Amino acid sequence: MRYADFAAHEAHDVSPAYERLSLAVSRDDEVLALLGMLPPIKRQPNLLFGVVRFLGGPVQDPAAFHRYTVRNWQVIEAEIRTRTTQTNEAGRCAVLLPVLAALPQPLALLEVGASAGLCLYPDRYAYRYGDHVIGCGEPILDCAMTGAAPPTRLPDVVWRSGLDLNPLDVTDPADVEWLEALIWPEHTHRRARLRDAVAVAASEPPSLLRGDLVDDLPALAAQAPAGATLVVFHSSVLYQVPKPRREAFADVVRGLPGHWISNEAPDVLPYDTLPTPPDASSLNVLALDGRPLAWTRSHGQSIAWFARREIPDDQVEQEPHHGLQP
């Protein structure tokens, strides 16, 4: 069951409130019946909980959540049907950075499922891998790394753009409020990080196109400047896309010049083999050009490379379009 699995594998030891709430919903026939009237993709715990929080409803007490949800279902359902889970977690840049920094510079970044575009600014954030700090200013993105040395430089980004079915505007208070509602209740550090990242993006708002990841990707990619390495990337996005469209997207992106970075759950894209995960928590697979490289936590908290490796800054530059070597 989706809510029981969410409690056990995503919320456990990460959000006591959402773990408690997910378990309650998994046993709540009345709320489950309401959710059953929605399309499967709209039944996600993060979407339901985020909408209730956005509307000012309670998420700490399961009994209060039940009463609020049942009494206000018409309004909640309308919001769920018009919204998507657009968690725009800038912390994910910390697991993307080692790959981005090793690609031929400068970069033209194109994010699929960009939400408000906060992950389009990996060159503007600071990073802390244990005692190793790169960059300066706020936010500082903390990431535990095993299996490789931390990167030694920030990427040189000369162009950035994003594609989303419903792009959010970092200068619109209502859109920022929705992003805040998607952050789990106890995660005050993530709310502070979101506000810092919004401030960075709002100083130079990203170019975001409302469009489809298959139909509109080639035309947007063609706008990348000559002389820059095109990097199409996405994090925790494709699980919301039906499998046939995921396959069509993979075919399209493989036909583009440059590189493709994916950071998705292990069952979202096909891989021949993957090593045993380091623990039972919900993990993503970081891959370059279809080659899996590492396990990552969903909010960028950690990255565990599949094999011990050193990643010199110029490694991929010497072998363009082939990815990091094991």
pLDDT tens for 283-303 read: 999 999 999 999 999 899 999
Say what the pLDDT of residue 314 is. 45
Which class is 90-318 in CATH? alpha beta
Contacts by residues 317-320 (CB-CB < 8 Å, ≥ 24 positions apart)? 317/102, 317/103, 317/104, 317/105, 320/104, 320/229
Which portions of the chain are predicted below pLDDT 70?
1, 280, 308-326
pLDDT at 59: 96
What predicted TM-score, i.e. pTM, was given to this entire model? 0.86
Q: Work out the burial of residue 251: count CB atoms within 10 Å of its CB; fewer than 13 is exposed, 13-18 middle, 19 or more buried.
A: exposed
Confidence (pLDDT) at 267: 93
Q: Residue 191: what pLDDT?
A: 94
